[in-house]
Amino acid sequence: MHAATLRATAIVLAAGALVVTALEATLLSRYGATWITLGNLGVHVAVTGALAVRHDLPRVSTAVTVIALGYLDVLAWQSPVNLGVSPVLLALPLAVHLTARREPFGWASMGFVAAIAVGYFSPMRLLPSRTDQNVWTLLFLVTILGAFVLGAARRHSDIVYEGKLSRERERLDAQTVARIDRARTGERERIAREVHDIVAHNLAVIQVQASTSIAVGSEEQLGESMLTIKRTSSEALTEIRTLVRLLRDQETGAVAGDLSQVRTFVQAARAAGIRVDADLPDDDTLAEWQARWPNLVRATLLRVTQEAVTNVIKHGGPDAQAVVSIRQEDDPDRVVAEVDNDRYRESDSPGFGLLGVRERVELLGGTLDYGPRGSGFHFACTIPIGGVAP
């Protein structure tokens, strides 16, 4: 049951007890202010207060109810006049049910035993008819027992259900971890394939030439092999250094290391209906970065920016507002990329693009921070210009 509903129920019960308390106050005018009539009124006030806080302070509410109604038993047995059977006695099975429902079995059992004792000596034992005494007392005790059993059964059911939920969460967490591991493995495998495509052939040529030179042993063959090895190794080294430049975007076929693409990403977002405020370097600065920065740094910056803008388009929806910023702050050895949007919708099937971006950034020794911020989404990345992880 919702917390607000439980609190409303407690207030209704307390209001009912307050009405009964007002009726019991008439005993003061009828019999005067004696320790019995004042005690009787105090019991009703205490039970009313206990009912009001039963949701927020269940243990306190139960303890006050049991003690107050136990004292009511004493007053009823000591009173020279019949105080009657007050409806606030129903607070006793309510307290037992609450304790069995909310508290551990040991605490609930103690409350149940105390309630049975209070119920057995309740004012019902002072009814005029012996039969009425036995019947109503028995019904009251059965009500207390039923409240305890129902509360304990509900608690047990909740524990079983929470156990199932916990196991389901663990299973989903394990699946998520496995999917993340597969995504990271896939990213590493993709990079490994790209490296293999560039250098495997050249290294094979070098190996064949070296083996031939050793096998033939002539000066002429040795010279030819050395020239071939020099040319091939130079080509391999050049290709390794331009790895990112040779990696092309799967959709557009554009060179991955061309920093001018950042403007293309912004234009794509605007074409999708996103209102973009772009804080980008001017063309001269981009050209300087293009000439000075390593290919791997440039490609990573582009990949980061592209993924962040893609997330804005995917999760922001039409008419979303975004700020795209790429800058060098006080540290000339680092570049910072930030993308913020004012609207963010969770996807039913989350992808792993951000995981691949994190892999790339961490390989360079950079940092990546992203997550919801207010109603939107914040994305920030810092990449060292050196392009080599420490």
* CATH code of the domain occupying 249-384: 3.30.565.10
- 63 is written with which tokens? 């303890």
Task: Bin 120: left if φ > 0, else alpha if -120 < ψ < 50, else beta.
Answer: alpha
Show the DSSP H helices in the chain as ranges.
3-24, 26-31, 35-52, 58-78, 91-102, 105-120, 130-216, 219-241, 243-246, 261-271, 283-292, 295-316, 353-363
Distance from C-alpha of 270 to C-alpha of 261, rounded to nearest angstrom: 14
- Note whether 247 and 190 are within 8 A (CB): no
pLDDT digit string (tens) for the chain, length 390 residues: 566 777 778 788 778 877 877 777 777 777 777 888 888 888 888 888 888 888 888 888 888 888 888 888 888 888 877 777 888 888 889 888 888 888 888 888 888 888 888 888 888 888 888 888 888 888 989 998 998 999 888 888 888 888 898 899 899 888 888 888 887 777 676 666 556 544 554 565 565 556 656 666 666 666 766 776 666 666 566 656 655 554 444 444 444 568 888 888 888 777 667 788 989 989 888 888 888 888 888 888 888 888 888 777 777 766 778 899 999 877 778 899 999 988 877 654 445 567 777 877 888 888 998 888 888 888 999 999 875 444
DSSP state string for 295-363: HHHHHHHHHHHHHHHHHHHHHH-TT-EEEEEEE--S-TTEEEEEEEES-----SS--SHHHHHHHHHHH
Distance from C-alpha of 154 to C-alpha of 101, rounded to nearest angstrom: 6
Element (H, E) at 370: strand 367-373
Mention every residue, 6+ apart, whose C-beta is less than 8 A from residue 247.
Answer: 194, 256, 299
Q: What is the largest CA-CA distance in the chain?
A: 132
Q: What is the reported pTM?
A: 0.45
Locate the domains of the chain by residue range. Answer: 3-167, 249-384
Neighbours of 51 (CB within 10 A): 27
